[in-house]
Structure formats: structure tokens, C-alpha cells
Amino acid sequence: MTTLTGLQKRHLRGLSHQLKPLVQVGKNGLTDAVVEAVGQALDAHELIKVRVAEPPEGRKALAADLAARTASLWIGTVGHVVTLYRRNEDPEKQKIDLPQPGGSRSGSEGEADEG
């Protein structure tokens, strides 16, 4: 998966505020079942939150490992919650439109509000 620009990550973090965690990583850690559940959630939603019971010093490593094992991007961590993003390969199933790098801020979204 490609990397995202700062603008795209901010956009995804903004979209993630309303989301609830769909998967929880418990005391058994990052099992194959958890990785599979996260993969299925990413297929269905593209942007998800995962609740992690790991102590603070291990959360970043777990988030990076989870992102690598699910071929997703780690968008951020707030407290015990990790946000992941993976664009759906099928264009018809893509749910999130990312801002284009280097694009102007006065895109079609702003024009629709002016009328």
C-alpha cells in the first residue's frame, strides 16, 4: 500500500472521530483470529478503529504489526484505540474519497455549498 500525505491522514482522522472500535485486541495479543477480523472489517469499511488492551509502551509496536499483517496504513492512536485504513481494491466498493495531493482547497465540495 502506498503512503498518504499529511492532508489525507488528517482527512481520515476527521472521518474516524464518529467511528466506534469494531475489533478488540485482548490479553492474548495479536492472534490470527484478530488479524482476520481486522482484515474483514477493513474490507467492509476501509477505515476502522481497533481497541487495544496493550500497555502504552507496546501499543505502537502492536499497531505497526497489525497494519503490516493486514496490509493497511496506521493512521493514528488515541489512548487505547488504533485507527487503520485500507483502500478497497474494487473501485465500486470504495467508500472514502481522499483529497488529492497538491490539489487546491476550492474543489467541488466547496462549490456545492456556495449555491
Burial letters 64-101, b for 16+ CB under 10 A, else e:
eebbeebebbbbbbeebbbbbbbbeeeeeeeeeebbee
> Where are the extended beta strands (E) located within the chain?
21-25, 47-52, 73-78, 81-85
CA-to-CA distance for 6 and 39, rounded, in angstroms?
A: 24
- Residue 110 has a pLDDT of 41
- Are the CB atoms for 52 and 79 separated by under 8 Å? no
Model confidence at 103, pLDDT cuts 50, 70, 90, reads low
C-alpha cell at position 76: 493514528
Q: What is the pTM of this model?
A: 0.82
> What digits encode the pLDDT tens for the residues 18-39?
999 999 998 888 999 999 999 9
CA-to-CA distance for 4 and 10, rounded, in angstroms?
A: 10
CA-to-CA distance for 40 and 66, rounded, in angstroms?
A: 13
- Residue 98 has a pLDDT of 84
Give 98's Cβ-side CA count (13 Å radius): 21
pLDDT over 90, % of the chain: 57
Model confidence at 114, pLDDT cuts 50, 70, 90, reads very low
**Mean pLDDT estimate for the chain:** 85
Tell me which of 112 and 55 has the higher pLDDT.
55
- Residue 108 has a pLDDT of 41
Does the structural domain 6-88 have CATH classification 3.40.50.720?
no
pLDDT value at 113 more than 70: no
